[in-house]
Structure 1
């Protein structure tokens, strides 16, 4: 089955419209608040000009120091956002229209399988990339002409192939990480390029909106003062990020619905 991008987008919009009240609550709890807390609590990344290798080393040390001090908050935010991601997927693809509490419960139940699947994919990808890097080093960099593009294109391709892993976990209730990855690979077969274009278009819109917003916030910051400007930037960037995340989740849910078929409750409704 070929993915219909127009139909998938219409389905995503319809799902968001039908669940907008619950999405506002879940988006605020799991995406907006964590992003704002991180923006206000974690020191800003250094933006000093880089002119020499010493500047690069100093910048790297400063960044490492920030991560060393705040790793626990980054980890907590990732876990919270993963639960929200899975909860919204379960909500959008469940014909029963579950409550906020039920959606969060579904997301929490899917968390450990999602983490295991992510680690399995990351470890496997890292091993492949390490082999390609070793090959590049062994040839004195000559193979870089082939290996570097191969690593970039291969990573993107594999990311698309496993892009439906989350709905496989949250909607289909598959818990085995190997089965999850295999199922996502099967669902995306013949549609990798279409999915890539679908996600890329959404990403481009997000980048454009973020750039426009950044320019507006910079102007307001210059007019209202640095402190007020920083607060505005933190709030609106977190808000846009939360909205983008929900839109991307809806897009993934719509793509999964089209390629995998309706969820069990919706199938049951057909025969009621």
Structure 2
């Protein structure tokens, strides 16, 4: 089955509209909150602009050493929230928010292992001029929704099922997600720049760090929700899963 971009996009928007209460509740607690807390309380690495490669590595090493717990904790919480949203959008499930959170928690370890295996598979491809890595990533992009929809606990089987579902559509999925990613990144960047300029003019250059972090966290969370819904929509189309959602 060939991927239909318009149908996938319409399906993603329909999923977001139908499940908006559930995904907003989960996203607010597990995506937005840790993102803004991290932005507010963890100081990003500071560069002078004249560092060589060893200097850059040293700055990042110090940054990760000083903030290892915060980085790990925020990423785990965000990853768990993302998985719970996949459970909320999966076509075979119609549970409450609490039930989806419990189901995601039970399978979270398998999800982390599957992500680690995905990284191991795709990493060599990124060393080969990036494109092979992106292609491999697009072939394995359905791993979380396969986990949520089918409840498969075997990480290797999750990768195999995603690979089978995306057969013949690897580059189509890659192009589709790249378009969304580029548009989303530009939109977030422009909005952040506008907010920064307005804040700088209004405060004489001091800015409004909290407001800027708030906008960045909101737009980043919205982008993640859209991307998640798109991936679920791709899965629905390629797997032939029936859904009651009207596009």
- Give the Cα–Cα distance (whole angstroms) in 1 for the partners of residues 121 and 240 of structure 2: 29
- Give the Cα–Cα distance (whole angstroms) in 1 for the partners of residues 56 and 168 of structure 2: 44
Out of 86, 109, 114, which is 1:112 matched to? 109
**What aligned pairs does 1:58-207 form with structure 2 within 5 A after superposition?**
58-94=55-91, 97-126=94-123, 128=124, 150-207=128-185
- C-alpha deviation, 1:44, in angstroms: 2.1
**Count of matched residue pairs:** 243
What SS does the corresponding residue of 2:226 show, helix, strand or coil? helix
What SS does the corresponding residue of 2:150 show, helix, strand or coil? coil
What SS does the corresponding residue of 1:46 show, helix, strand or coil? coil
Scaled by the length of structure 1, the TM-score of the pair is: 0.83
Check whether the contact 2:80–2:105 (CA below 8 A) recurs between aligned residues.
yes
Question: Once structures 1 and 2 are overlaid, which stretch shifts more, 221-230 or 75-84?
Answer: 221-230
Scaled by the length of structure 2, the TM-score of the pair is: 0.91
CA spacing shift, 1:124–1:191, aligned 2, 3 Å: closer
Unaligned runs of 5+ in 1: 130-146, 268-272
Match of 1:132 in 2: none
Match of 1:260 in 2: 239
Q: Which structure would you say has the larger Rg?
A: 1
1:223 aligns with 2:219: no
Unaligned runs of 5+ in 2: none
- C-alpha deviation, 1:47, in angstroms: 3.3
Check whether the contact 2:92–2:149 (CA below 8 A) recurs between aligned residues.
no
Q: What do the CA deviations read for 1:119-155 (whole angstroms, capped 9, x no partner)?
A: 12223444x46xxxxxxxxxxxxxxxxx96x341211
Question: Once structures 1 and 2 are overlaid, which stretch shifts more, 93-102 or 182-191?
Answer: 93-102
What SS does the corresponding residue of 1:97 show, helix, strand or coil? coil
Q: What do the CA deviations read for 1:198-229 (whole angstroms, capped 9, x no partner)?
A: 11121112112112112212212212335542
Check whether the contact 1:46–1:59 (CA below 8 A) recurs between aligned residues.
no
Q: RMSD in angstroms over aligned alpha carbons?
A: 2.0
**What aligned pairs does 1:220-259 form with structure 2 within 5 A after superposition?**
220-225=198-203, 228-259=207-238
Check whether the contact 1:12–1:254 (CA below 8 A) recurs between aligned residues.
yes
